[in-house]
Structure 1
Amino acid sequence: MDQRTVLTPADPAATDDDLATQPIGYWSGLAHRAVIGRIRDEMARIDVAQPQWWTLNRADAGDGPVREEVIEQLAHVGDGPQEIARAIDQLLHRGWLTIGTDHRLSLTDSGRTAKARIKQLVIDLRAEIHEGITDEDYVTALKVLRRMTDNVARQGAGQDR
């Protein structure tokens, strides 16, 4: 966007020609709410929460992490570390996770079955969400968002707060 572009208020009906003048906060927030809402609604239909899905994936990696490692690895994508701790507790209660004598988390047989079922749901949702979007366009969109995030972080790091 040219530095002289005149910005316009958020408008869900903005034409393609007007999109360069639209606020990123509005559009990224709209996309976030729509995508996360859809994923979480569909997961709820099979009695699973998104943090549980993330936790199953982390617990199934390598030799199995300890509880604190999973919490640390996922705190930035959840609504704080307590959300991940709750997911671990819920999965332990369901019998999808177990804690070994070495304090490492691992999936039980029922946890592996659940993970496979949830993975298929996630694959199907990804196809639905990405319908009409090429991999190239998707990568371009993510690169733009990553660049904007980096720009904001770099500008924020240079200011005393």
Structure 2
Amino acid sequence: MEYSHEDAELVGQPVGYWTWAANKTLTAFVRGRLAAIGITQPQWWALHQVLHSEQGVTRDEVISAQRANLDVGAGMAVDIDLLVERKLLVPGADGRLRITEEGRALHGRAAETQRASRGIVHDGVSDEEYLITLKVLQRMMRNAGGEVTPA
């Protein structure tokens, strides 16, 4: 493994900084790649959630699920409105959102973009290294009194 610092120096650095820096860097990377195909990350989440619901979902269900998992706040409502405006989602008479064919097509492009992004980010990182990293982060979260819930 290659680092920009000596291991002895790295071991003394705060994990909070590195997890923040990783989050900032990786989020910008993913969001930039999704933006290149005309979708925001929260819009991707909404399309994904609606796609995988046979009966469709309400706006409140999308907002609630994303707020609980990803702390996106009130902006999720705007992203849903934009998806409806673009006719990627349509509200039914029952008020439940359903995905259109155009929405399915964009979801497919976004899914492929996400797979390619994961490949780029994981280049040179074995599954074993990735698993160890996640388990160590989960242990540190528990040690700090946090909850560890699946993504």
**Are 1:39 and 2:25 counterparts?**
no
Counterpart Cα distance in 2 of 1:87 and 1:149: 31
- TM-score normalised according to structure 1 size: 0.82
1:142 partner SS: helix
**Are 1:85 and 2:77 counterparts?**
yes
Deviations 1:46-97 (A, max 9, x none): 22110000110111122222111110100141431x1211111110011000
Alignment of 1:23-102 (within 5 A): 23-62=14-53, 63-75=55-67, 76-80=69-73, 82-102=74-94
Q: Give the structure 2 partner of residue 13 of structure 1.
A: 4
Equivalenced residues, count = 142
Deviations 1:10-65 (A, max 9, x none): xx832234322110111111111111111111112222110000110111122222
Counterpart Cα distance in 2 of 1:147 and 1:102: 44
Deviations 1:110-141 (A, max 9, x none): 00000001111110000000001111211111
Q: Higher relative CO (CA 8 A, sep ≥ 6), structure 1 or 2?
A: 2
5+ residue gaps in structure 2? 147-151
**Are 1:151 and 2:143 counterparts?**
yes
Q: Percent identity at matched positions?
A: 35
RMSD: 1.6
Alignment of 1:131-150 (within 5 A): 131-150=123-142
- TM-score normalised according to structure 2 size: 0.87
Counterpart Cα distance in 2 of 1:99 and 1:153: 41
Counterpart Cα distance in 2 of 1:100 and 1:16: 57
Alignment of 1:110-125 (within 5 A): 110-125=102-117
Residue 51 of structure 1 contacts residue 78 of structure 1 at CA under 8 Å; is this kept in 2? no
Counterpart Cα distance in 2 of 1:145 and 1:85: 31
5+ residue gaps in structure 1? 1-11, 155-161
Q: Find the structure with the greater CA-based Rg.
A: 1
1:103 partner SS: coil
Residue 66 of structure 2 contacts residue 72 of structure 2 at CA under 8 Å; is this kept in 1? no
